């Protein structure tokens, strides 16, 4: 059976408080009742003592005056049980049996019916104060109703206070239980959301207590699970990519090789086109694609057994010459601001060429999108400059809108793209190449431009610039 935490807190707390309040109330009621009894007894002992020591006759007027002070009725009998005086002529006391107690032993205990109501009845023996006077017996009648009213007046305030205390305790216990269980219910709902794959952090409670600590731990757990899920998805993408790359790359390499052979045969048959720049660019592009696919099939994956000095100036110039026809075709201005100072890094020329090509083509596509949407001229700028004495920065900037917010935090992951016809591999491959060269890649928005920056370590300045092989 389910036993909610609210009831686990509420029932024991209320039970303990109820027992305590009821116990205190009953004790107070008993003490009040006992005190009333003692007060009534002492009052009548004092009256009996006063009347016993009186030197004046105990007439009806005296007994009535005593009744007004005490609320009791009195009947005075002589030695022969004759009525000497009485506050209730209709009362006929029974003959005295045995020896009545003296005034200091008087008790209010027996209840009899006298007239039309019940009374507490006691008899006290009065000692004669005048020589020759006979023994007298004073019958005292105290109304039971008046006695009960006195007890009720003493007990009811305690009972009312105890009842109010019970209600207050029940309300406070309910409120406290709700304040404790409500955050736990929110935690329970959040855990269910995490189990369903929602790893968004929950809002922390304002009170700095154990519940807040538990909420912080749950947020940390959700963050770790989210990262783990992203890593699993990334691994699955890479696994899928690995399964597909062999077949796709093989088919593409065959097609590219066929195109390059056909282009070579055409140039041999038509010598007049040997110096045509467009055909030369196409030939170089086909050679570069063939090299990429060959590396892909060999499972090179961006890892290299050895590096060699590579002059980035010449590499950037070569890539710019390859992508410049594409930029010109779509109306994008391509600027080369690499400078004349040779900047040499240790690396693989083919992979670095692929890196620069991916960034430049992505920049051209982004600039085209703004040009078509807003009708303004697009521009792509490639810069190469040293950053300190030990590193060089390659910056590719464009006038495009920048990455969409939905992929900003994961655009370097495989198969992540916002383009309708994109593959989601360009930036992933770029990051892999940069990391394998000991560098860093980042991006930022600066003056309405999107800038991708690649920082690579420089080689010793005394090494000569090594020209890359013309492929």
Of 268, 299, 330, the domain-final residue: 299
The C-alpha torsion from 188 through 191 and 195 to 200, rounded to 10°, is: 130
What's the rounded Cα separation, in Å, for the pair 104 and 442?
A: 107
User: 470 in a domain, yes or no?
Assistant: no
Q: Are residues 29 and 71 in the same domain?
A: yes
Can you give the pLDDT at residue 382?
Answer: 92
Helix/strand/coil for 236: helix
pTM beyond 0.75: no
% of the chain exceeding 70 in pLDDT: 85
pLDDT of residue 471: 42
Domain membership flag for residue 308: yes
- Decide if pLDDT at 351 tops 70: yes
pLDDT value for 302: 47
CATH of the domain at 265: 1.10.287
Q: Please, which pLDDT band fits residue 246 given cuts at 50, 70 and 90?
A: low
Q: What is the pLDDT of residues 254-308, one digit of tens each?
A: 777 778 787 777 777 777 776 776 777 777 777 777 666 666 555 444 455 568 8
Query: Residue 381's pLDDT is what?
Result: 93
Position 353 scores a pLDDT of 87
d(CA 456, CA 208): 47
Domain extent, residue 404, equals: 301-457
Say what percent of the chain tops pLDDT 90. Answer: 6
Tally: H helices and E strands in the chain: 8, 12
Question: What is the pLDDT at residue 440?
Answer: 92
190 CB-contact burial (10 Å; exposed 0-12 / middle 13-18 / buried 19+):
buried
The answer to whether residues 288 and 214 belong to one domain is: yes
Q: pLDDT tens, 373-392? A: 666 788 999 999 988 888 99
pLDDT for residue 327 is more than 50? yes
The tokens describing 165, both together, are 């205390």
Backbone angles phi, psi at 106, to 5 degrees: -65, 135
Between CA 457 and CA 440 the distance in angstroms is: 10
pLDDT tier for residue 462 given thresholds of 50, 70 and 90: very low
Is there a domain that residue 181 lies in?
A: no
Q: Does the residue 338 lie in any domain?
A: yes
The domain spanning residue 127 has which CATH number? 3.30.450
The Cα–Cα gap between 97 and 224 comes to 97
Indicate whether 261 and 305 sit together in one domain: no
Other C-beta atoms lying within 10 Å of the C-beta of residue 40: 20
Which of 270, 299, 328 finishes a domain? 299
Structural domain contains residue 166: no
214 with 253, same domain?
Answer: yes
Residues 326, 291 share a domain:
no
Sequence-distant (6+) residues with CB within 8 A of 287 are: 260, 471
pLDDT in tens, 16-44: 878 887 888 888 878 888 888 888 788 87
Q: What is the mean pLDDT of residues 147-167?
A: 81
* CATH code of 437's domain: 3.30.565.10
Tell me if 282 is assigned to some domain.
Answer: yes
- Residues 126 and 352: their CA atoms lie apart, in Å, by 131
pLDDT at 292 (0 to 100) = 64
* Highest mean predicted confidence (pLDDT) among 242-246, 277-281, 347-351, 440-444: 440-444
Are 224 and 266 part of one and the same domain?
yes
Q: What is the pLDDT of residue 101?
A: 76
Same domain, 93 and 241: no
| Alpha-carbon gap, residue 377 to 370, rounded angstroms | 8
Helix (H) or strand (E) holding 48: helix 5-52
The average confidence (pLDDT) of the chain is 80
Residue 190 in domain: no
- Give the model's confidence band at 12: pLDDT under 50 very low, under 70 low, under 90 confident, else very high: confident
The one-character DSSP state at 81 is S
Answer whether residue 468 is part of any domain.
Answer: no
Q: With b meaning 16 or more CB within 10 Å and e meaning fewer, what string describes 418-429?
A: eeeeeebbbbbb
- Domain end call among 250, 274, 299: 299
Describe the strand order of the beta sheet including 379-386 as a list of residue ranges: 333-337, 379-386, 391-398, 449-457, 440-446
| Number of domains the chain is built from | 3
Same domain for 394 and 285? no
10 CB-side CA count, 13 A: 17
Which residues fall within 8 angstroms of residue 407, CB to CB, at 6 or more apart? 416, 417, 418
């Amino acid at each position: 059976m389910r036993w909610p935490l609210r009831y686990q807190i509420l029932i024991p707390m209320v039970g303990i408080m109820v027992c305590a309040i009821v116990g205190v109330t009953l004790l107070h009621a008993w003490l009040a009742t006992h005190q009333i009894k003692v007060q009534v007894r002492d009052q009548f002992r004092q009256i009996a003592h006063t009347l016993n020591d009186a030197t004046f006759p105990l007439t009806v007027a005296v007994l009535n005056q005593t009744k007004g002070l005490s609320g009791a009725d009195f009947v005075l009998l002589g030695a022969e049980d004759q009525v000497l005086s009485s506050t209730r002529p209709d009362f006929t006391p029974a003959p005295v049996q045995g020896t009545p107690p003296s005034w200091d032993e008087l008790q209010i205990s027996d209840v009899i019916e006298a007239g039309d109501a019940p009374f507490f009845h006691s008899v006290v023996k009065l000692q004669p104060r005048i020589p020759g006077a006979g023994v007298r017996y004073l019958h005292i009648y105290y109304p039971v109703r008046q006695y009960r009213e006195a007890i009720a007046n003493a007990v009811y305030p305690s009972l009312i206070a105890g009842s109010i205390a019970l209600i207050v305790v029940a309300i406070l216990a309910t409120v406290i239980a709700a304040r404790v269980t409500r955050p736990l219910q929110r935690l329970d709902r959040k855990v269910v959301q995490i189990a369903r794959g929602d790893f968004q952090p929950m809002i922390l409670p304002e009170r700095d207590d154990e519940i807040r600590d538990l909420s912080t731990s749950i947020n940390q757990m959700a963050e770790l699970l989210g990262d783990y899920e992203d890593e699993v998805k990334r691994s699955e993408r890479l696994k899928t990519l690995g399964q597909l790359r062999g077949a796709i790359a093989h088919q593409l390499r065959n097609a590219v090789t066929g195109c390059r052979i056909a282009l070579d045969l055409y140039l041999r048959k038509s010598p007049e086109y040997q110096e045509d720049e467009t055909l030369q660019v196409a030939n170089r592009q086909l050679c570069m694609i063939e090299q990429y696919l060959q590396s892909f099939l060999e499972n090179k994956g961006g890892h290299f057994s050895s590096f060699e000095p590579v002059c980035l100036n010449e590499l950037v110039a070569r890539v710019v010459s390859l992508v410049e026809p594409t930029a010109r075709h779509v109306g994008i201005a391509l600027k080369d601001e690499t400078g004349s100072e040779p900047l040499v890094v240790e690396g693989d020329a083919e992979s670095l060429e692929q890196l620069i090509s991916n960034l430049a083509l992505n920049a051209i596509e982004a600039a085209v999108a703004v040009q078509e949407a807003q009708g303004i001229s697009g521009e792509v700028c490639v810069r190469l400059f040293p950053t300190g004495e030990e590193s060089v920065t390659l910056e590719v900037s464009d006038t495009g809108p920048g990455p969409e917010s939905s992929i900003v935090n994961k655009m370097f992951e495989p198969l992540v793209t916002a383009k309708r016809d994109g593959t989601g591999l360009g930036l992933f491959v770029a990051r892999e190449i940069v990391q394998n060269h000991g560098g860093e890649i980042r991006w930022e928005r600066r003056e309405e431009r999107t800038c991708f920056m690649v920082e690579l370590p420089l080689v010793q300045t005394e090494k000569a610039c090594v020209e890359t092989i013309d492929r």
